[in-house]
């Protein structure tokens, strides 16, 4: 049987598509190529996104902002001085993009407008800091990236 150029092109396309599909199925079925999301409960977090945006807008609209700074002792979170520190409640979440095992949270319980996260709790590198707090029924959210 003689193969003309049209048949050769069709056979070439079929072989090429088979080659590509073989590798797509191989990568999807092999557990070595893990396709996990960055966070465990990604879809729950996505549903709460609108509420989070409102909290961030409340924080932006404040006259005096929350300040997150790196110091020799660790990381300090300074709340507005005109707020009653005992009424500020919430948590500070520290997220390490390179290693999920280093992530941790610190509850906010203040006697002064300053919160210190000790240097001993922090490993050098990039940290995403999220301060989710409440004052007199109004929710706020401040986010910042700090390299420690």
Partner residues linked to 67 by β-bridges: 78
Nearest-angstrom CA–CA distance, 86 and 112: 8
pLDDT greater than 90 at residue 10: yes
3-state secondary structure of 29: helix
pLDDT greater than 60 at residue 37: no
pLDDT 10s digits, 78-101: 998 888 888 899 999 999 888 888
Residue 92 makes CB contacts below 8 A (sequence gap 6+) with: 77, 105, 106, 108, 115, 117, 129, 130, 131, 132
Could you tell me which residue, 73 or 38, shows the higher pLDDT? 73
Nearest-angstrom CA–CA distance, 113 and 127: 22
């Amino acid at each position: 049987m003689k193969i003309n150029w049209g048949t050769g092109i069709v056979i070439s396309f079929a072989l090429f598509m088979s080659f590509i599909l073989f590798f797509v199925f191989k990568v999807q079925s092999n557990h070595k190529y893990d396709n996990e999301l960055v966070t465990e409960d990604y879809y729950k977090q996505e549903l709460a996104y609108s509420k989070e945006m409102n909290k961030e807008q409340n924080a932006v609209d404040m006259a005096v902002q929350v300040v997150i700074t790196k110091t020799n002792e660790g990381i300090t979170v300074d709340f507005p001085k005109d707020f009653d520190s005992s009424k500020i409640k919430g948590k500070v979440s520290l997220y390490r993009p390179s290693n999920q095992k280093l992530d941790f949270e610190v509850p906010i319980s203040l006697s002064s407008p300053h919160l210190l996260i000790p240097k001993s709790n922090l490993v050098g590198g990039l940290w995403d800091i999220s301060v989710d707090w409440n004052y007199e029924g109004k929710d706020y959210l401040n986010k910042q990236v700090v390299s420690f």
